[in-house]
Structure 1
């Protein structure tokens, strides 16, 4: 976490663009079927492990993973940095009500933060150019995007260079957590990697099939990778990545 926050700090201080992405099981699986999402992840400057499933999978394959850096925790740390250093954040995404409540609760905790701007995620492609102009003219130091995949990835693929923001980070549903609309799992469940189960408990109708599907697919991908490794076979080529992408 400290290393990631320092990278963000350097980017904002120097105004050199740095894009961060947090990788969890659902996103990893979706990358297999969505080349835009896959390109956004692998072309980001910093990739943090968000989900315990990725930690366990990496360790099972002998990769030196020490810990994860969850998106919501990183967001919280960078907001504290913004207050200390006078950096201006911009929140993009969520519903108007959730966005305003998230900003209010941030200001309750960090009263000296000056937001560069707030914009909900309910705009059409025809209005994207206006949104980009608003963000650029705000001179924001960091941009947190709370829009679902792959919409966020398509927005960044089209406009990343025009935004003029040093640190860019997708935060998924973190605005809902900041606003208090969604509760995080208790810390013991976080450590056990059972945050997904807590989400299912809170929103069973919407979440149970999503997690059942992504977790099952991930288990199959991981099992095949472990089998290939045990047989001394080379890792499978990432044919699902776009041409020219670093592998």
Structure 2
């Protein structure tokens, strides 16, 4: 693969750089980084995250410092096209994770799974071991720990000699951890995967394809967890729509 200059293939949307990459291109870049032991940190953004970044400086800093930023939400892809900064397609975090697990099996890469509750991360490891091979599992650890535990966790990841690190912990906590210990862990590729472990473990269900393609995956999450999700998505989705409208009407000239 010819090395791609990530600096020249990105747009900026509401103060956040996002790379104009398809799923296939993203996987190729990640494969190249693992094969050549080049550190790469990945993050995805959706409408909610872009809205929250406007008032959360720590969250914004943790995202814009990542090496690859993909558009996870369909709404972000639509907004990019409406505002004349078209992204090629949605690169959903869970789909990318699943593709990278498959890649690990093909390329003999090893993965460390970090985050979620103990029973959930264990189910994820068992499922991928059954589908592919136990050989792709470098190690795992739940996401419940204190600040004092961090050096020991970083050493556990380093000792596993993992090629890929999936982190199912909230932002910006996971990005802060990765930035603080990336030299110790020495893992070529790291990726925050949000609630993907819950989906793989069968705790929560993914929206049907038609809802994913229609930008309604957020609604499916609200239906599954109304008490926790309705207010979050009502507020952030409304904010995001307002941001797009203001720019389109010329009320806000800064993207």
Asked if TM exceeds 0.5, the reply is yes
Structure 2 contact 247–253 (Cα < 8 Å) conserved: no
Which whole-Å CA distance do the structure 2 matches of 1:118 and 1:9 have between them? 21
What is the CA distance between 1:33 and its match in structure 2? 2.1
Cα offsets for 1:128-170 (capped at 9, x unmatched): 1111111112111000000012221221232233321101100
Matched, 1:70 2:89: no
Aligned equivalent of 1:103: 125
What is the CA distance between 1:234 and its match in structure 2? 4.1
Aligned equivalent of 2:82: 60
Structure 2 contact 42–191 (Cα < 8 Å) conserved: yes
For these two proteins, the number of residue pairs brought into alignment is 233
What is the CA distance between 1:15 and its match in structure 2? 0.7
3-state DSSP of counterpart to 1:235: coil
Aligned equivalent of 2:27: 5
Unaligned runs of 5+ in 1: 237-247
Matched, 1:79 2:98: no
Matched, 1:33 2:48: no
Unaligned runs of 5+ in 2: 1-22
3-state DSSP of counterpart to 2:241: helix
Aligned equivalent of 1:130: 152
Which whole-Å CA distance do the structure 2 matches of 1:174 and 1:155 have between them? 19
Structure 1 contact 83–112 (Cα < 8 Å) conserved: no
Structure with the larger RCO, 1 or 2 (CA within 8 Å, 6+ apart): 1
Matched, 1:235 2:254: yes
Aligned equivalent of 1:50: 72
Cα offsets for 1:209-246 (capped at 9, x unmatched): 11101101111211222122xx7x7426xxxxxxxxxx
Aligned equivalent of 2:36: 14
Aligned equivalent of 2:3: none
Aligned equivalent of 2:172: 150
Aligned equivalent of 1:23: 45
